[in-house]
A and B are shown apart, each in its own frame.
Chain A
Amino acid sequence: MKTNLKKFIGTAVLGVALFSHSILAWAGAVSLPEVVVDEVYRVAHGSTAGARYSPDDQQYIGCSVDNPFVTCFAKDKAGKYLFCSSTDPRSLAVVKAITDFSSIDFASDPGTSSCTALIVTNDSTYLR
């Protein structure tokens, strides 16, 4: 009887300890948008954390800088891919704001693949 009670208490404590881990992950507003590529309108959107921790192994979104060239790229879970590039210093200023909790939106010109719009949002809800 005593052993059973001990076992019960031990299990309960373990359960609470494990539960408190998950509570931390649940609390607060969180939104981790996954990558969406629209090949018709040539726009892409997604968050760095949403792509990285998505259940599939396809998604990614990001930008690279090889001054003065900026290239942004995205691939969604269906394998749709889009990129844009720019030598406009303004696009470089935007890319400098990317963190591990950013969402990235970009639009790619259908003829030249140059970036016609690029938005970086750093939001507390994108923190994992």
Chain B
Amino acid sequence: MKVHLKKMLSLAALGMSLFTTTVPTWAGFVSTPEVYIGVNGNGLSYARGSMVGARYSADNTQRIACRITFDSSIPNLYMECFAADSGGKLLSCSSAAPEYLEAVQAMTDSSYIYFEVGRYGQCRGVSITDSSGLLK
């Protein structure tokens, strides 16, 4: 009786454990691209990748981020984005353009981020995509 109870308990624990592991893998459409840094057709460097793809990648070098800075001693807000790919390649840009500041405000933990960098390190294009498929 005691052995049966033990067996039942361990099977139940195993079942729960497997269930919680597999459910997230099965459910819904998921696409969480990792960080990629390259050069586009206009000769501009760009970075793209999802927050989740970078965070839960197999390596520990990938990263993608954006920030907004307010400094009372200067007139404009400015934003920066930076990325690191799995090979250790780095890319960053900065800008005070209001449209890019607003893009950073739209970031969530399920964002896909794309930015292009001009010749002087200025952001040339920043886009943020939030989608159910980008959720962990």
Interface residues of A (CB under 8 A from B): 10-11, 13-14, 17-18, 20-21, 24, 27-30, 88, 90-91, 93-94, 96-97, 99-101, 114-125, 127
Q: How far is the CA of A30 from the CA of B21 in the complex (A)?
A: 21
Q: How far is the CA of A4 from the CA of B21 in the complex (A)?
A: 26
Q: Which residue of B lies closest to A118 (CB)?
A: B70
Interface residues contributed by chain B, number (CB under 8 Å): 38
Interface residues of B (CB under 8 A from A): 10-11, 13-14, 17-18, 20-21, 49, 51-52, 54-73, 77, 101, 104-105, 107-109
Q: Identify which of A30, A93, A100 gathers the most chain B CB atoms within 10 Å of its CB.
A: A93
Main secondary structure of the interface of B (DSSP, over half): mixed
Question: By the criterion CB–CB under 8 Å, are A121 and B67 in contact?
Answer: yes
Question: By the criterion CB–CB under 8 Å, are A120 and B55 in contact?
Answer: no
Q: How far is the CA of A118 from the CA of B58 in the complex (A)?
A: 33
Question: By the criterion CB–CB under 8 Å, are B67 and A122 in contact?
Answer: yes
Contacts of A116 in B (CB 8 A): 71-73
Q: Identify which of A29, A100, A118, A119 gathers the most chain B CB atoms within 10 Å of its CB.
A: A29
How far, in Å, is A6 (CB) from chain B's closest CB? 9
Question: By the criterion CB–CB under 8 Å, are B70 and A93 in contact?
Answer: yes
Question: By the criterion CB–CB under 8 Å, are B73 and A125 in contact?
Answer: no
Main secondary structure of the interface of A (DSSP, over half): mixed
Contacts of B21 in A (CB 8 A): 17, 20-21
Q: Identify which of A18, A20, A30, A90 gathers the most chain B CB atoms within 10 Å of its CB.
A: A90
Q: A93-B101, A119-B68 are in contact. List 17 more A-B contacts (CB 8 A).
A: A14-B13, A17-B14, A27-B57, A28-B62, A29-B54, A29-B60, A30-B55, A88-B70, A93-B77, A97-B104, A97-B105, A100-B109, A122-B67, A123-B64, A124-B49, A125-B63, A127-B52
How far, in Å, is A1 (CB) from chain B's closest CB? 15
Q: How far is the CA of A117 from the CA of B78 in the complex (A)?
A: 12
Question: By the criterion CB–CB under 8 Å, are B109 and A127 in contact?
Answer: yes
How far, in Å, is B125 (CB) from chain A's closest CB? 18
Question: By the criterion CB–CB under 8 Å, are A94 and B63 in contact?
Answer: no
Question: By the criterion CB–CB under 8 Å, are B54 and A14 in contact?
Answer: no
Q: Can you list 14 pairs linking A and B with CB atoms under 8 Å apart?
A: A10-B11, A14-B10, A21-B21, A27-B57, A29-B57, A29-B59, A93-B70, A97-B67, A97-B107, A101-B109, A115-B70, A123-B65, A124-B65, A125-B65
